[in-house]
Amino acid sequence: MAAYGAAASLKNTIQSILQSSRISLVPPSSQIIQPAYEAMVHLQKVLLKLEETGYSKIRTKVNALDDRIKEVLWEFEDLLESHFTHQTLPQLESERDHLSFSLDLQCLRQSVDCFVERVAEMEAEYDIELMNMPEEEGKPLSSRMDYGGINSNMVGLSDEFEQVRDLLLAEDEGWVSIVGMAGVGKTAFAKKVFDDPWIQTHFELQAWVKVGRKCEYSEIVRCILAQVDPNTYDQLVALGDDYDEVLVVFLEDRLKNKKCLLVLDDVWEWDTQLMDIFPEENVRILLTSRLRIQELKNLASEGTIHLLNEEESIKLLGEKLFGEKGFPPDLEELGKKIANKCEGLPLMIVTVAELLSKEDKTTQCWTEVAEKQHNAVFMAAYDQISEVLYPSYDYLPQYLKLVFLYLGAFPPYTDIETDFLYDRLIAEGFLEQNLDDFILNAMGELDVRYHLVQDERNPKSWFSTNKHRVHSCWQHLCKKEASNIKFLHVLQTCGDDVIKDQRRLCAHSNMLFAFKEVYDSINNDCATTTRSLLCYGPYHQYPVPIQAMNFKLLRVLDALKVRFYHFPLNILKLVCLKYLALSYTKELPVNISNLFHLQFLIIYPHMHIKVRGVSSYMPVEIWNMRELQLISVMGRDLPTPNPDATLDKLLTLFGVSAMSCTKEILKRIPNLERLRILMELKPFDDDDDDDYSNALSGLGHISTELQNLNVLSYSIQNPDMKHESMVPLTMFPSSLTVLILKGLGCPWKHMNDIGSQLPNLKRLVLEHYAFQGPDWDIDSGCFLKLEKLVIEDTDLVRWRAQYGSLPRLYLLSIRHCYKLKQLDWTRHPSMVTRPTIELVDCNPLVVLSGVVYNCRVHCATSL
């Protein structure tokens, strides 16, 4: 994995040098470096051959070679970027303005030649290792059929158990697949089904086969026949080795006209030959796997075993430690905290219980386990179950391994916001920039197919957010593996971490950077080659001296959780920086354009203080930063550009006001896809009746200048509802798929005018009196593609949708609309979607007073 990521990173580094509009390469520099780029393209293809090997192949030697290749690539990348930095910095520090920088790579000719030759040699060695990968030793047949030691006493999942049992007892054909994370209890679930009295009575024959990563077709046949007809099996075995075809014939004959249940436990990959020997009309198969096996085409049902909830986790831990009575009163609260830290994974709960049973059952001991993050019991439990979990990681596709290891940087027990994760991976050089929705697809694969990421979003509820979570046991494995291969290290303590040559550093307590021991260790051991510094601890309102460390080749600095009193000028020397996130309130320095490779600029104020009559602008030099893809700045605006300035690569602009939406500015960001406008009305100008019109003016050029805009958010802070206002319809380009409006105070009829010109709109969010008035009647020709509609905090009394309107809507969420009395929506019966109506903190009688057919209605009270 590490070599694949290193190759992607180096390839993107070379590409950014070759294609930068602000780097003038001295001939023949481009010809010198081009072979290294081509070598990386070829190397990635060679490394991807690993994906073609089966799960039964042992990867120890290949992984060791992968690590050596990574070291060679990192060494060359350090050489190249150091050379680039040493030539660029003196030009930046000269007095004249630089819109371009000369770069001479002629002195690297020999290094490039040696590097390309070395890579070719290692590719050949890699091919040989792939051809000679050893097979995992198969388990004895007796152990594959031994299910007596499996505990089927489950906690929870009673509904799922009944569903699976009923499916197997039904006369319908097809297989039943049970999938889920390693350690979640799939085998115990299957054993409970296998032992169920109804199952035992219904099926004349039963067989259990533990498949695993290596279990060939012939072995499965032998295991089944040995259980359904042991006498025949023993006789055939006595005949000699060449009896596989005879076994199949006897097995087919034995299963004929017999109701048989086969459990195939822990399946990794599927052998299609098995489909031919099981009579579909009388053999039912229950399959368990930690993967979603895509080759299975004959599934009657596929169910996912989910983690235990809080109550079930507490019950399981209590029973394992104290029997059916559960926790004694003096340990009950601590027991609940310990159970919750296991995050619902049965294997984790059982392992923690075994380790706790060896400790003193005192409040002092249990308090340390419950409260201390890195306590001995949990660390030992993580290490123990890592052996069970590791194969799920080791056999991931390489691009998913890379993403998964990066997730280990996030603090445990926290949600991962994916909004900026994709941007960081681009800045790291791991992803191609044209991979639309890559991170969502990758996270979906890790969740749905490999069950390594938890995504419990509910598309039928607006409370559900686009967040994911990695179980703490997986985060432990990720952190350990990432640190071992020098990919990323999470700082844990003050001075005890071994961080020599770590490529990326992360802290879950930002104060660690303020300790001299940590500061010195970073400077001495890895600062000169560190590519990322990630401050993921809680927000820290006092500065820590991260900018004074001896970083030279830093690409990603995510210090949004650290406050800066003054802009750290040392950062302006980091010419390789591509991602910068800071909390800083004052004006940006004009030398921000020194960061001419920067792609993502995120600056949030420590405290939002509005000075009367003063507008805050980014420096005009921002227009020289032509690689920018995202600008997210709260309370700052883009300045009027120079005539020849254009940010062609800018796709996202967040946090600006309407002053950044002039025709002159919008023409210079023609490829913008996401725009978030934040307007703040002046609370000190109470007599200014034109305040609203000023807030809405200048927005009419959005639709004419931004033809690719997909997401538009317009929010007014401190709204005053004493005047009705009308936003210009030319503000809304027809390309919009997401529209979020807050605090405008427009009449509801204006929303229909807006909707009529948005044929592609899929999500509409109206909050904080975006519209006002008692009635909203939706015309039948509006919102033909709308899927989600959210209305929050308005004075709406009656909501009516005409017959046939909103044909694709699957979620209507109305929140904090206390005056709401009537909901009328008669949906056309031909519409396939059956939507959910979610009412949160609204008049409880609204459901009874409206006429809503063919909809699920869910009422809730927000916490």
Between 171 and 628, residue with greater pLDDT: 628
The total of other beta-carbon atoms located within 10 Å of residue 19's CB is 9
Q: How many CA atoms lie within 13 A of 637 on its CB side?
A: 19
| Cα separation, 240 vs 345, whole angstroms | 46
Q: How confident is the model at residue 270 (pLDDT cuts 50, 70, 90)?
A: confident
Residue 697 has pLDDT above 70, yes or no: no
Least confident of 372-386, 409-423, 537-551, 688-702: 688-702
pLDDT at 617: 87
Sign of CA dihedral 464, 465, 466, 472: negative
| Cα separation, 581 vs 603, whole angstroms | 6
Instruction: Kindly write down the DSSP assignment for every residue of 158-210, as one continuous string.
Output: HHHHHHHHHHHHSS---EEEEE--TTSSHHHHHHHHHH-HHHHHH-SEEEEEE
Structure tokens at 325: 């009575």
Q: What is the bridge-based pairing of β-strands 416-417 and 467-468?
A: antiparallel
Mean pLDDT across the stretch 518-542? 87
| Cα separation, 4 vs 44, whole angstroms | 6
pLDDT at 619: 93
pLDDT at 464: 46
Residue 88 has pLDDT above 70, yes or no: yes
pLDDT at 374: 81
pTM (global) more than 0.75: yes
Residues of the chain above pLDDT 70, percent: 87
pLDDT at 436: 54
Q: How confident is the model at residue 850 (pLDDT cuts 50, 70, 90)?
A: very low
pLDDT at 849: 45
| Cα separation, 348 vs 184, whole angstroms | 9
Residue type at position 377: V
Mean pLDDT across the stretch 337-362? 91
Sign of CA dihedral 369, 374, 377, 382: positive
Residue that is written with structure tokens 């380790």 in the block: 355
| Cα separation, 701 vs 464, whole angstroms | 34
Distant-in-sequence, close-in-space partners of 177: CB < 8 Å, separation ≥ 6: 287, 288, 289, 293, 296, 299, 301, 302, 303
Q: What is the dihedral of CA 58, 62, 63, 68, to 10 degrees?
A: 160
Cis previous bond, 28, omega within 30: yes
pLDDT at 300: 61
Residue that is written with structure tokens 């694949």 in the block: 4
Mean pLDDT of the chain: 85
Between 751 and 498, residue with greater pLDDT: 751
- Residues pairing with 285 in the sheet: 262
pLDDT at 481: 93
Q: Which long-range contacts (CB under 8 A, 24 or more apart) does 153-158 make?
A: 153/188, 153/192, 154/185, 154/188, 154/189, 154/192, 155/308, 155/312, 155/315, 155/316, 155/319, 155/346, 156/308, 156/309, 156/312, 157/185, 157/189, 157/305
In whole angstroms, what separates CA 735 from the centre of its chain? 26
For 655, list phi and psi in degrees, rounded to 5: 90, 5
Residue type at position 187: T
pLDDT at 63: 94
pLDDT in tens, 749-786: 889 889 888 999 999 999 999 999 999 998 877 888 99
Q: Which whole-number Å values give the CA distances from 336 to 308, 310, 318, in the listed order?
A: 13, 8, 9
Q: What is the dihedral of CA 378, 486, 61, 47, to 10 degrees?
A: 120
| Cα separation, 225 vs 278, whole angstroms | 12
The three state secondary structure string of 42-84 is: HHHHHHHHHHHCCCCECCHHHHHHHHHHHHHHHHHHHHHHHHH
pLDDT in tens, 502-511: 999 998 888 8
3-state helix, strand, coil in the chain (%, to 5): 40, 20, 40
Sign of CA dihedral 107, 113, 118, 119: positive
Residue 623 has pLDDT above 90, yes or no: yes
| Cα separation, 72 vs 84, whole angstroms | 19
| Cα separation, 118 vs 112, whole angstroms | 10
| Cα separation, 170 vs 284, whole angstroms | 10
The total of other beta-carbon atoms located within 10 Å of residue 724's CB is 14
pLDDT in tens, 366-407: 999 998 878 899 999 999 999 999 999 999 998 889 888 998
Buried b (16+ CB within 10 A) or exposed e, 186-200: bbbbbbbbbebeebe
Between 26 and 419, residue with greater pLDDT: 26
pLDDT in tens, 280-303: 677 888 999 998 887 766 666 778
pLDDT at 523: 87
Q: Which of 603, 637, 641, 602 is nearest to 623 (CA)?
A: 641
Q: How confident is the model at residue 848 (pLDDT cuts 50, 70, 90)?
A: very low
DSSP code for 622: G
| Cα separation, 860 vs 681, whole angstroms | 33
DSSP code for 528: T
Q: How many residues does the chain have?
A: 863
Least confident of 99-103, 246-250, 270-274, 353-357: 270-274
Q: Which of 42, 31, 122 is nearest to 75 (CA)?
A: 122
Q: Which of 833, 57, 4, 838 is nearest to 405 (CA)?
A: 4
The answer to whether residues 133 and 59 touch, using CB atoms and an 8 Å cutoff, is: yes
The answer to whether residues 334 and 370 touch, using CB atoms and an 8 Å cutoff, is: yes
Strand residue runs (E) in 697-787: 711-717, 738-742, 746-747, 763-767, 771-772, 775-778
The answer to whether residues 223 and 244 touch, using CB atoms and an 8 Å cutoff, is: no
Least confident of 23-27, 610-614, 706-710, 767-771: 610-614
